[in-house]
Structure 1
Amino acid sequence: MAAEDERGARLTVGAPDLLTLHESIAGMFATQGDWQRAYQHLRSALDIARAGSLRDTLTSSYNRRYLDQRLPSLPSGRGLALALIDLDRFKHVNDTYGHLLGDRVLCRVADLLQEDLPADGFCARYGGEEFVLVLPGLDAAGAIRLADATRVRVARHPWSELQPGLRVTISVGLAYASADTEAAQRQLLRADNLLYAAKRAGRNRVAYHDRETARVITHSE
């Protein structure tokens, strides 16, 4: 547990520290008149700053800006699944245990969501307690299996080790499209509608379209 928290700390503070280091070294070389080495460190600082602008500052997952940039540039010729994920009753977690613990829950969930993603797949924090999994290269059945395995992974995580009595689950709206058949933003809107279907069905579920009908995977816990 401590190792996981330490890893999260390295992700969130490591890049800004490195940015400051490169800026300081660039300033030192500039005062010495070594403009080439100063320029090299300024370029490194710029690269770090650019990468940091695409990461969520709390969870270190990608952010909405990265999602908006990547969706149009995903390779064509393959299927694409988008899973919109919401933490169930997260306001209750904040109200009961406090926002500091709520932040730790968000970080832990982000880590769990990023396990076992396909090649070129990624997780982005969409806003608040919502995340998006971008899953290219899977067929519809594979996307459903992955989404439900993710839901189960979160539900079965030992949350009581973080706080006695704590339980966390997620609801998932999964929208799948074969290659080049639907704009990604419209597909994301479908995932949002399916997420509400999962919530209405009782939460801790994955909702997806089967032909013309929305079907819901019920949880097994």
Structure 2
Amino acid sequence: MEAGNGAHPQKQAHDPSGLLAAHESIAGKFATQGDWRRAYEHLRAALELARSATACTRPHIPEQFRLEVEQLRRERAQARRESLTDSLTATYNRRYLDRRLADLPSPSVALVDLDLFKDINDRFGHQVGDQVLQRVVGLLQQSLPPGAFCARYGGEEFVLVIPDAPAGTAVSIAERARAKVAEYPWERVQAGLSVTVSVGVAPHPQHPADPREQLDEADSLLYAAKRAGRNIVAFRDNGDLRLLPTLRAHAAGPCP
């Protein structure tokens, strides 16, 4: 017995109406507990049972029952989306990132951090800071090719995950994202506001790698970009540290 309602669907197979009612009752109990997945499964099973019954045994399916199935389906999908999405920026969250990195065969990753974000909050307030985070996410997503995604790593850090991208492509995507943020007319958000990001790129490794090691490499390169003056993309080329754009004066400064 799955929900302790005194009736097991298996024992009522001879009675389609009773079986449908049992599924609906169990679904109701799971719904009141907030277990949308199992509630939806029982309502869907009941609906399929009703559809597959012969004409002489087919029970009447109330319209309300159909509506409940659809409502639970939507609620289940929404709950899943919310569990994998950052509430502020509407991009993916750390949970989604961890799951996808475990499944993907070592994609290229770029760790993006807003430069001097604390100063933005202190000077303009957290409401403007939230708007900046939301706008930056939009700009980062505009830079991504199909199949790639952005996830909030924590605070003002985001990860760009780029499957099947060679090193040069990953660096170009990261540089395009950096430039989009730097060139955006931030004065439209708040007078006197300017925003830049620093990026560390860990390209697709030649051999399968632990995602944590790849993120650690991207983090190390991110801080190299910070130390070089911010608003920079840092990566390695044959083991040597490279910075983009290459023609700017890199004045070392404190992090972040």
Which TM-score band (shorter chain)? 0.7 to 0.9
8 A Cα contact 2:141 2:149, kept in partner:
yes
Q: Which of 60, 68, 71 lines up with 2:90 in the alignment?
A: 60
Change (3 A) 1:204 1:219: farther
Give the deviation of 1:33 after TM superposition: 8.8
SS class of match (1:172): strand
Kindly indicate whether residue 202 of structure 2 is the aligned counterpart of residue 186 of structure 1.
no
Is 1:46 the counterpart of 2:76? The answer is yes
Which runs of structure 1 show a deviation greater than 2 angstroms over 4 or more consecutive aligned residues?
A: 32-37, 177-181, 218-221
Does the C-alpha gap of structure 1 residues 97 and 219 become closer, same or farther in structure 2, counting only changes over 3 Å?
farther
The equivalences for 1:47-196 within 5 A come to 47-74=77-104, 76=105, 80-178=107-205, 180-196=207-223
**Code of the aligned partner of 1:62:** Y
Q: Separation in 2 of the partners of 1:33 and 1:163? A: 52
Matched-pair contact (CA < 8 Å) for 2:94–2:151: yes
Listed as ranges, the gaps of 5+ residues in structure 1 are 1-25, 27-31
Indicate the structure whose relative CO is greater, using CA pairs within 8 Å and at least 6 residues apart.
1
Query: What is the TM-score normalised by the length of structure 2?
Result: 0.69
The TM-score with structure 1 as length reference comes to 0.80
User: Considering only aligned residues, what root-mean-square deviation do their CA atoms show, in Å?
Assistant: 2.2
TM superposition shift of 1:220: 6.0
Correspondence for 2:20: none
When Rg is computed on C-alpha atoms for both structures, the one with the higher figure is 2
Secondary structure at the counterpart of residue 243 of structure 2:
strand
Q: How many equivalent residue pairs?
A: 190
Give the aligned residue type for 2:119: H
Alpha-carbon distance in structure 2 between the residues aligned to 1:104 and 1:219: 30
Distance in structure 1 (CA, Å) of the matches to 2:136 and 2:247: 19
